């Protein structure tokens, strides 16, 4: 079967970098093998799912360059889940339970107080038809649990690099259908994975326990069990977990702050691996380097400062074609982009430098107007090129006797209003003689 993966976010919040990392790993794994990528919106939580979050998820993926071959919404597939649930009922694997949330909580507390694991005790399996009818007559509506085999379920985890085995007798029979008839992730996800031909499920390690139950449900529905890979969860720089609902490190915020998508991709593809993090200009470069065997079990930390540094390094090599449209309003051409890209941290900083060169900076009061006027008298005639700065400053040095910081700092400040920035040799031709003279004598 062709490799087929799925990225299945819930549209209950904005994507954060942890979600993006899972999406990227799935995409790289599938595309490197000529496989398919499915985008599935797990939107069965009617209370928290929002269309604006669904739209934002798609926008974020497009921004990252992660395309997909098919898209599904679980809310459009409810009949498929009903049919699967009915099959499980008929086979005796899905059974009704009538305990309330408060009663279940009391059971768990009692088990913990007696030093027993808080595993559902399967009381509902002992109920006969008359007892179930009595409970329903009282107004109780059942939720439905999947009856686990209470045996050992094992799989070879592609990201943990060893076999994982879970005894399903140690976990509660999972609820697949709520009292209100809504389907939980464990059922809907399995049905979708079977029917969409998913061959590999790459996700976070928080799903490891779910995997054993899902393997049993897949078998009960007659499906093919996919391969699994569970990656260590991403933490922030302080070691805290990330949350969509809290807006932790959201992609929308990063995009608004001028982060380049390939800077983020370059970092996320390497976090948790043995590879050094280097800026890559395209996803194909990351595909060629991708290997699940490189991922370790350690918790990777996402540091925004590391991303900012990587973003600046990426800009140093970013071709003009990739930024042309974003800089069109400032009438920035390729020579100017090449002049400034080595000393900026965000693309739009190029607009600031174009303004400085062609309109003018907010100039500080000159420390030595006589020196600046002398330097103005030594400005060579145009045309200017990248050798003009060196020739001019050599002449100023010879006349004034200044050198080093005492020579270069006041000239840069007078011409740009900044102590640091792109090389003056590259900027001076864009400032031009008339503007340079005016700034030196202002």
Give 80-95 pLDDT, tens digit per residue: 999 999 999 999 999 9
Assess whether pLDDT exceeds 60 at residue 198: yes
Dihedral, CA atoms, 389, 392, 396, 399, nearest 10 degrees?
160
DSSP state of 341: G
Strand-pair category, 175-177 with 143-146: antiparallel
pLDDT of residue 409: 94
Do residue 62 and residue 87 come from a single domain?
Answer: no
> How does residue 241 score in pLDDT terms, banded at 50, 70 and 90?
confident
**Long-range CB contacts for residues 332-340, cutoff 8 Å, separation at least 24:** 336/430, 338/426, 339/422, 339/423, 339/426, 339/427, 339/430, 340/421, 340/422, 340/426, 340/427
Q: Identify the domain containing residue 346 by its residue range.
A: 320-354
In the block, tokens 């005894």 appear at 167
By percentage, how much of the chain surpasses pLDDT 90? 89
Helix pair 369-377, 433-440: axis angle to 10 deg: 150
* Domain count across the chain: 4
Same domain, 306 and 327: no
Confidence of residue 364 (pLDDT cuts 50, 70, 90): low
Q: Are 99 and 107 in contact (CB under 8 A)?
A: yes
Q: What share of the chain is helix, strand, coil (3-state, %, to 5)?
A: 50, 15, 40
pTM for the full predicted model: 0.90
For residue 412, give the CATH number of its domain. 1.10.10.350
Distance between CA atoms of 217 and 220, rounded to whole angstroms?
5
Confidence of residue 157 (pLDDT cuts 50, 70, 90): very high
* Chain mean pLDDT for the chain: 94
- Within-domain flag for 363: no
Do both 87 and 116 map to the same domain? yes
Residue showing tokens 């939580």: 45
Same domain, 25 and 116: no
């Amino acid at each position: 079967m062709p490799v087929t993966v799925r990225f299945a976010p819930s549209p209950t919040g904005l994507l954060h970098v942890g979600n993006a990392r899972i999406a990227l790993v799935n995409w790289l794994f599938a595309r490197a093998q000529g496989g398919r990528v499915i985008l599935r919106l797990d939107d069965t939580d009617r209370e928290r799912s929002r269309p604006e979050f669904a739209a934002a998820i798609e926008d974020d993926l497009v921004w990252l360059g992660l395309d997909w071959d098919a898209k599904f919404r679980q809310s459009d597939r409810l009949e498929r889940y009903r049919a699967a649930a009915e099959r499980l009922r008929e086979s005796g694997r899905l059974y009704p339970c009538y305990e309330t949330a408060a009663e279940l909580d009391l059971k768990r507390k009692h088990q913990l107080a007696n030093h027993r694991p808080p595993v559902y005790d399967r009381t509902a399996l002992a109920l006969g038809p008359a007892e179930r009818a009595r409970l329903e007559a009282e107004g109780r509506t059942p939720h439905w649990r999947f009856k686990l085999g209470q045996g050992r379920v094992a799989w070879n985890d592609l990201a943990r690099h060893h076999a994982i085995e879970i005894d399903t007798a140690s976990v509660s029979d999972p609820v697949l259908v709520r009292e209100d008839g809504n389907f939980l992730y464990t059922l809907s996800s399995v049905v979708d994975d079977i029917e969409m031909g998913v061959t590999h499920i790459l996700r976070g390690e928080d799903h490891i326990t779910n995997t054993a139950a899902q393997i049993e449900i897949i078998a009960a529905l007659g499906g093919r069990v996919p391969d699994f890979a569970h990656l260590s969860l991403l933490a922030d720089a302080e070691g805290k977990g990330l949350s969509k609902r809290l807006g932790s490190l959201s992609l929308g915020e990063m995009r608004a702050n001028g982060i380049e998508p390939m800077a983020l991709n370059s970092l996320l593809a390497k976090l948790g691996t043995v590879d050094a993090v280097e800026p890559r200009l395209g996803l194909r470069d990351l595909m060629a380097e991708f290997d699940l065997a490189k991922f370790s079990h350690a918790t990777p930390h996402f540091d925004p400062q590391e991303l900012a540094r990587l973003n600046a390094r990426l800009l140093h090599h970013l071709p003009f074609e990739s930024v042309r449209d974003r800089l069109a309003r400032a009438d920035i051409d390729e020579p100017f982009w090449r002049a400034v890209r080595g000393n900026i941290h965000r693309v739009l900083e190029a607009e600031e430098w174009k303004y400085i060169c062609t309109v003018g900076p907010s100039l500080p009061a000159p420390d030595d107007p006589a020196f600046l006027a002398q330097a103005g008298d030594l400005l060579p005639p145009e045309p200017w090129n990248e050798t003009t700065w060196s020739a001019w400053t050599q002449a100023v040095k010879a006349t004034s006797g200044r050198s080093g910081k005492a020579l270069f700092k006041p000239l840069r400040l007078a011409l740009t209003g900044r102590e640091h920035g792109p090389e003056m040799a590259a900027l001076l031709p864009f400032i031009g003689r008339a503007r340079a003279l005016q700034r030196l004598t202002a």
